[in-house]
Amino acid sequence: MSSGEGEAWEFPEDWEYSGGVPERLLRIRAKCPYCGHTFEVEMGESWYNMGISITCPKCGKQFSVSMYGEVLGEVKRSGKSSK
Ligand SMILES: [Zn+2]
């Protein structure tokens, strides 16, 4: 019996190209403040700076990614590995 809960947020269709500039995609390691589960997520830099809430895949609670997240680096979209 959950009323109003369980709303999964989704990326807008054009979230990558807001303003015409491809946004950097960050890989973030988040640690859930509730259960201590550590997991990695990828999201746009502005999303991270906004401190958007993410959902722990283990306990299902939400917390701010900028408060409990650590940026590991930038995700390379086109993984061309030509030596
Ligand atoms: Zn958790």
Q: Which residues contact 52 (CB under 8 A, 6 or more apart)?
A: 9, 43, 64, 65, 66
Domains recognised in the chain with CATH numbers: 23-74 (2.20.25)
User: What confidence tier does 82 reach under pLDDT thresholds 50, 70, 90?
Assistant: low
CA torsion sign for 80, 43, 6, 63 is positive
Return the exposure string of 3-15: e unless at least 16 CB atoms fall within 10 Å of the residue's CB, then b: eeeeeeeeeeeee
Residue type, 60: G
The whole-number pLDDT of residue 12 equals: 59
The whole-number pLDDT of residue 14 equals: 56
| Cα separation values, 46 from 1, 22, 79, 83, Å | 34, 11, 22, 32
Ligand 1 centroid, distance to 37 Cα (angstroms): 5
pLDDT digits (tens, 9 = 90+) for 11-43: 655 555 555 567 899 999 999 999 999 999 999
Ligand 1 centroid, distance to 39 Cα (angstroms): 10
The whole-number pLDDT of residue 22 equals: 72
Higher pLDDT, 14 or 65: 65
Is the model's pLDDT at 5 over the cut of 80?
A: no
Ligand 1 centroid, distance to 38 Cα (angstroms): 8
Q: Which helix (H) or strand (E) holds 74?
A: strand 69-74
Neighbours of ion ligand 1 (CB under 5 A): 32, 34-35, 37, 56, 58-59
